[in-house]
Amino acid sequence: MGRIMQGNFGAGWVLAISALLDFVIGDPLHWWHPVQGMGWASAHYTQFTLKRLQSPRLLRLAGIGLGISLIGGSGLIGWGLSQVARQIHPLLQIMMESIVLASCFAGRSLRDAAEEVMKPLQQGDLALARSTLSRYVGRDTENLSEADILRAVLETVTENATDGVLAPLFYAIAGAAIPGVGSLPLALGYKAASTLDSMVGYRREPYTHLGWFSAKADDVLTWLPCRLVVLTLALISGKPRQVWRICRRDAPQDPSPNSGWSECVYAAILGVQVGGMNYYQGVAKPKPLLGDATHAIAPADIRHALRLTRQCFLIWLSIALVSLKYLYW
């Protein structure tokens, strides 16, 4: 037991248990989730601010305050909870950190969401597939064809593979490697940045100025783990040069510095093409085409993408556990 508690209070155990919890349980439907708290705080701050501020400069300053306070505050809360649990008993710290950290990984949730859309689609119920998809994407789904639905699912799975699964793992590993910090604070801080980006990080009004800092913070924090995802997947694909060539050709065309790379590396490996015309509240919005369409997107490609994400996750986790063994155990 003493060896388990050495170093960063079982940093390796926390990573391993949280990964197992996400794989087996995911996010139980009626359990409170940290993102709910982050979203509540962001929504109330945003509502309060937009009612009282009109100046673009003041809105930007308010946005900086929102980003720093929520990202930093989430990390500090995670660290504080960890320290309180540690004072009670180191095993309680490991249990608490593992449960909360598991909520930062969306691997099981992403897999379940994809299957929930594909099930009615494969049964020929296009209307139910459209309706189910609308819960997970922002684009209009009422008139999507089967091919459009499959593309939307694949784009969602491959974009969220980075910011919903692998980037949180990256920051959890980084935190575990820092004595006195641990996995939870950095993972929660990243999750806060990702939540802010999804809520206020838009270029349209009324979030243009208020959400500027949140969007930039998420871009910066996601940049390195996204490139490591591309590198890892390219290597395990068995055709790294071809994958890298396609990514360098297509990914920079996407206005996002990260989602284009994340989607493109999967498209390159699978031999499919994503992107094209989407509609948001009736307004057409084209996305750059990523990858080569050697064949049409099929449910098997989506499941292959989910397996690739799981393989990348396990590779990073294994490297981290071996490294932490020499750091702490």
| Element (DSSP H or E) covering residue 274 | strand 274-280
Dihedral sign for Cα atoms in the order 25, 26, 32, 34? positive
Q: How confident is the model at residue 5 (pLDDT cuts 50, 70, 90)?
A: very low
Dist CA 104 CA 190 (whole Å) = 9
Closest to 320 measured CA to CA, from 236, 256, 225 = 225
- Give me the number of domains the chain comprises: 1
Bond from prior residue into 225 cis (ω within 30 degrees of 0)? no
Q: How confident is the model at residue 3 (pLDDT cuts 50, 70, 90)?
A: very low
Cα angle value 153/158/164 (rounded, 5°): 105
Q: What is the domain range of residue 36? A: 2-328
> How confident is the model over 254-292, as pLDDT tens digits?
999 999 999 999 999 999 999 999 999 899 999 999 999
Dist CA 11 CA 201 (whole Å) = 32
Count Cα atoms within 13 angstroms, Cβ side, for 135. Answer: 11
Are 170 and 177 within 8 A, CB to CB? no
> How confident is the model over 214-254, as pLDDT tens digits?
999 999 999 999 999 999 999 999 999 999 999 999 999 99
Range with top average pLDDT, 38-42, 149-153, 178-182: 149-153
pTM score of the predicted model: 0.93
Tell which wins on pLDDT, 43 or 268. 268
Closest to 245 measured CA to CA, from 286, 275, 276, 290 = 290
* C-alpha pair distances (Å), 55 with each of 64, 96, 100, 176, 180: 14, 43, 38, 41, 41
